[in-house]
Structure 1
Amino acid sequence: MTEPETARLGARIRAYRNMRRMTVRGLAVEANASPSFISQLERGHSSASIGMLRRIATALGLTVADLFNEEDELGHRVLRRTARPELRTAPGTRKYLISQRPLQNLEVYAGELDPGTSTGDEPYAHGESQEILLVLRGRVTVWLGPTGSASPQVLGPGDSVEYRTSIPHRVANEGDEPAEVIWMISPPTPA
């Protein structure tokens, strides 16, 4: 890589790290590198092997290709409903990624839950971010907290709940009609 390319790569790594609210030390721990190496890489004073770039990308919730993509700075990106990537979920539920990769400051999902379905039998947690669940249509019950001590909240259209992603949570549609929800997470949780 040329010196300007190395500098631009370092600047993108620093920008993604800052978007994730990670410290240099935090990224170094996650990528199994030294903080001084990460600092030198971000300032364009060092280059990294493909293996190291993979570890850094994984720690940031990105792909190696995302680290080299300079086109994400265009300012706007359109995603048609029919082109939304679908994530594998529990039977009777569908979850679609709305925020386009590489994820920057915000991670957004649209969800559909058929009557009698849920995000799973057990509450789950992921990362240490802020999450908002907004109900667009139908009614859902949200459990926040570990199994056995979770407090259920019934939400209808226009209702929302905000919580840390580190708190175990679960969403169920116990009604007779389909439910549609949006999850918004900031900063994006690691992959």
Structure 2
Amino acid sequence: MNEIRAKVSRDEVDGDPATIGQRVKAFRTMRRITLRELAEATQTTASFISQFERGLSGANTSTLMRIATALGVSIADFFDSGAIPSHQVLSRAMRPALPVSEGYRKTLLSRRPIREFEVYVGEFEPGGSTGDQPYSHGNAHEMCLVLQGEVELTIGESVYRMKAGDSIEYSTAIPHKIRNVGHARAEVLWVISPPTSAIKDLNQYR
């Protein structure tokens, strides 16, 4: 990524407004977020977001940071004019991961900045789980594929026993959780579209 030199002049970010606006629109479109939804998340107006995306108005650093947070990217992603490399191999050992907890390790497979979808792998020791309480995130479409082992997936009031090769799709708005109910290690793959992770969530992966 190119080195970013974000300077502030009269509290406005130094950069080509048209270019920055185009990148904001690209990320917003990829995430299927409307002008109104982004305006509400950033305490602005749909009219302001529309003008900003067309390069007709600028934004101060605090507003740009709120936009980046709402879109799940870093502020630097708005200034990086270089093309994002594709066809890069991500080895298992190099996957960004969350700290291990509850006998559970979650890694991120998607390259940042996250675009049309995000992909994660969860590894569970026997008895390991995503936590005692079900969780929800956004209102997107999620697929869960069991790569190995045997897990119990709870979605709302329903409970599903799944083995390697089984998959299921559901809304991320419905509280859900996974637990390894087998005697061996289990591994699952999650695909979520559009992405729901905010930048603060992604920054936890190391």
**TM-score after normalising by structure 2:** 0.86
Q: 2:90 maps to which residue?
A: 79
**1:111 shift after superposition:** 1.0
User: Secondary structure, in 3 states, of the residue corresponding to 2:73?
Assistant: coil
2:181 pairs with one of 150, 174, 179: 174
Aligned counterpart, 1:34: 45
The one-letter code matched in structure 2 to 1:109 is: Y
User: What letter corresponds to residue 131 of structure 2 in structure 1?
Assistant: G
Residues 129, 38 of structure 1: alpha-carbon distance in 2 compared, 3 angstrom cutoff: same
| C-alpha contact 1:135 1:155 (8 A) present in aligned 2 | yes
SS, match of residue 77 in structure 2: helix
Match of 1:92 in 2: 103
How far apart are 1:79 and its partner, in Å?
1.9
Deviation at 1:36, TM superposition (A): 1.1
Query: 2 CA distance for matches of 1:70 and 1:177?
Result: 46
Q: Is the 8 A contact 1:8 1:44 kept in 2?
A: yes
Q: 2:168 aligns with which of 154, 161, 176?
A: 161
Where do residues 62-141 of structure 1 align in structure 2 (5 Å cutoff)? 62-88=73-99, 90-141=101-152
Count of residues in correspondence between the two structures? 185
Matched residues in 1 for 2:170 and 2:45: separation? 33
Q: Which residue of 2 aligns with 1:142?
A: 153
2:8 matched to which residue of 1? Answer: none
Aligned-partner Cα distance in 2 for 1:10–1:76: 27
Structure 1 23/98 Cα, relative in aligned 2: closer, same or farther at 3 Å?
A: same
Q: 1:78 to 1:70 in 2, by over 3 A?
A: farther
Deviation at 1:67, TM superposition (A): 2.0
Q: 1:17 aligns to what?
A: 28
Q: TM-score, normalized by length of structure 1?
A: 0.92
Name which of structure 1's ranges 173-182 and 81-90 shifts more when overlaid on structure 2.
81-90
Q: Which of 54, 58, 64 pairs up with 1:47?
A: 58
Q: Deviations over 1:86-112 (max 9, x none)?
A: 023532110000001110001100110
Following the alignment from structure 2 to structure 1, what is the Cα–Cα distance between the partners of residues 100 and 142? Answer: 18
3-state SS of paired residue (1:33) = coil
What 5-or-longer segments of structure 2 have no aligned partner? 1-13, 199-206
Q: C-alpha separation between the residues in 2 aligned to 1:45 and 1:190?
A: 29
1:33-78 per-position Cα deviation (integer Å, ceiling 9, x unaligned): 1111111110011111110010000111111112222334444333
RMSD value over aligned CA atoms?
1.3
Q: Which runs of no fewer than 5 residues in structure 1 stay unpaired?
A: none
